[in-house]
Structure 1
Amino acid sequence: MTPSLPKEFMQRPIAHRALHDKADKRPENSLAAVQAAMDAGYGVEIDLQLTSDGRAMVFHDYDMTRLTGQSGPIRQISSDEAAAVTLLHSDDESIPSLQDVLELIDGKVPLLIEFKDQDGAMGKGIGPLEQDAIRALEGYDGPLALMSFNPNSVAELARLAPHVPRGIVTSSYDPKEWLLPADICDQLRDIPDFDRVGASFISHEVHDLDRPRVAELKAQGVPILCWTVRSVEQEAEARKVADNVTFEGYLAAYSG
């Protein structure tokens, strides 16, 4: 039986890569950004990437340059090396491990974890990232959901942790915006894998919420999250379809 998305994921706006703000020395996916989101009563969304020693680190990009000033893929350094890299726009924030974030949140707010595609083409070259994350999540108690753009990753999460809600991150898959072959974009665009992978929800691109397939899933009672909302006005429009928003760059309304 597919696990249901906890109701908390529809009640609290979700801070995209946590509540980051360069001006306040809170880089995206940093512990400082996570703490700020918790202090504000928001849910937290984070990204996972894999290191050379097979550990799940909380980091968005494949290459480290934009976020650390150090070039090269995070996958080519160890978790200890990653933990020693200082994030830009911070005093001493380094790349946290998933375990670091779990210990900080400790079930206090909803945690939405995105697994970045490790295959490179949304294929079946996945496994180690999912395995290490599920190992870290063993015994975690609190509102939790997992997701990935790669449906094969979602299927692996269903196999490894069938009790944890999982979803597909979905998009218009405009080939001009994706480093993917057009046929793969065409295949993924209408979310054909939802039932196959035992998904509990989708998180859909905010500019594409009028897609018929999104309406079809919503009519079936599937929770619809969306990414990434960047203004009060955009949030109001998105909520005409989406049950909740993943936001950044402003403070989403929340009365807790």
Structure 2
Amino acid sequence: MSALPDAFRRLPLAHRGLHDLTQGRPENSRAGLTAAIAAGYGIEIDLQLSRDNQAMVFHDYDLGRLTAAKGPIRQRDAADLAQIPLLGGDEGIPDLPEILSLVGGRVPLLIELKDQHGQMGESCGTLEAATAAALTHYDGPVAVMSFNPHMVARMLTRAPDIPRGIVTCAYTAKDWPLLPEAIRTRLRDIPDYDATRACFVSHDIADLDRARLDALRSDGSTLLCWTVRSPQAEAEARKRADNITFEGYLPDFPA
């Protein structure tokens, strides 16, 4: 099992970069990542797949919230996506190799692979392959994670030396209305942690008192949490979590 570098416990992680639309820094933008690096924070980013099977740094499945375009990101080629401006900024959607070059190992980079089929089932492996290929020669502190444990398992096969984690939460019916109850019940207990040879979980801040998390930490797992939006919430989260993913304020660096 690959160990999570210490920097992932030491430096707060800027959620989708240090984004701030009032400063011209959209989510998952070069500007937001550059600002996080300048401030000394770690970075969390998201990956979606383009039509030509490139790993694109973008959170949503649809372009509509974050750009003036409409429709699934999966129906556009990478070159086309690069020309679609992010709302609130002056840049297009970047791909993973470009972002790896921009970060250049200066701060820890936490990469979330978004589930591509909506049901947390078996993956075709295309996004995992693109991610692994981009990371082949990357030397900086980096880790990958996904809500979908099948994708984490594929990253174990594709890039066994890259630390892996599972994104987790309470899987309530309210938050996951399209996910069958049986799947929600199963994933809630994080049953795939050992099989994927994960070394961390990134868990919802609203559910940190779960006994399963205490057990994982007792066995040596690192517990990250998302998404922290105030110093008060951070103080509570740090009573249980080893580190935070944050947005909307600037956290101090732990002593």
Other-structure match for 1:97: 95
Alignment of 1:94-133 (within 5 A): 94-133=92-131
Matches of 1:255 and 1:100, distance apart in 2: 30
- Aligned-partner residue type, residue 14 of structure 1: L
Overall identity of the aligned pairs, in %: 55
**2-structure distance, mates of 1:139, 1:18:** 22
Cα distance in 2 for partners of 1:196, 1:152 equals 10
Aligned amino acid, residue 214 of structure 1: L
Q: C-alpha displacement at 1:255, in angstroms?
A: 6.4
| Alignment-derived partner of residue 44 in structure 1 | 43
Q: CA deviation at 1:133?
A: 1.0
Aligned to 2:73: 74
Would the aligned equivalents of 1:119 and 1:126 in 2 still touch at CA under 8 Å?
A: no
Residues 255 and 214 (structure 1), Cα distance of their counterparts in 2 relative to 1, 3 Å cut: closer
Corresponding residue for 1:54?
53
1:32-70 per-position Cα deviation (integer Å, ceiling 9, x unaligned): 000000000000000000000000000000000000021
Distance in 2, Cα, partners of 1:255 & 1:233 = 15
1:203 and 1:161 map into 2 onto residues whose CA distance is: 20
Question: CA separation in 2, counterparts of 1:156 and 1:200?
Answer: 15
**Distance in 2 between residues matched to 1:242 and 1:46, nearest whole Å:** 20
Q: Distance in 2 between matches of 1:114 and 1:33?
A: 17
Distance of 2:126 and 2:94 partners within structure 1: 18
* Secondary structure class of the residue paired with 1:3: coil
Q: Is the 8 A contact 1:15 1:44 kept in 2?
A: yes
Partner Cα distance (1:7, 1:125) in 2: 30
In the alignment, what sits opposite 2:162?
A: 164
Tell me how far 1:215 sits from its aligned partner: 0.7
**1:1-256 maps to which residues of 2 (within 5 A)?**
2-90=1-89, 92-178=90-176, 179-254=178-253
Q: Tell me if structure 1 keeps the 8 A contact 2:145–2:165.
A: yes
Query: Structure 1 stretches (4+) deviating beyond 6 angstroms?
Result: none
Q: Deviations over 1:133-155 (max 9, x none)?
A: 11111110111100000000000
Q: Following the alignment from structure 2 to structure 1, what is the Cα–Cα distance between the partners of residues 194 and 224?
A: 17
CA distance in 2, matches of 1:114, 1:89: 23
Q: Tell me if the contact between 1:206 and 1:228 (Cα under 8 Å) persists in the aligned partners.
A: yes
**2-structure distance, mates of 1:12, 1:227:** 14
Aligned residue type for 2:253: Y
- TM-score of the two chains, using structure 2 as the length reference: 0.98
2-side partners of 1:181 and 1:11: how far apart?
37
Distance of 1:223 and 1:119 partners within structure 2: 28
- Structure 2 counterpart of 1:53, one-letter code: D
State whether residues 126 and 152 of structure 1, in contact with CA within 8 Å, keep that contact through their aligned partners in structure 2.
no
AA matched with 1:66: R
Structure-1 separation of matches of 2:62 and 2:187? 25
Matched residue pairs, number?
A: 254
- Name the amino acid aligned to 2:114: K
Q: RMSD in angstroms over aligned alpha carbons?
A: 0.9
- 1:176 CA displacement: 1.1
Measure the CA separation in 2 of the matches of 1:77 and 1:196: 34
Q: Distance in 2 between matches of 1:186 and 1:70?
A: 36
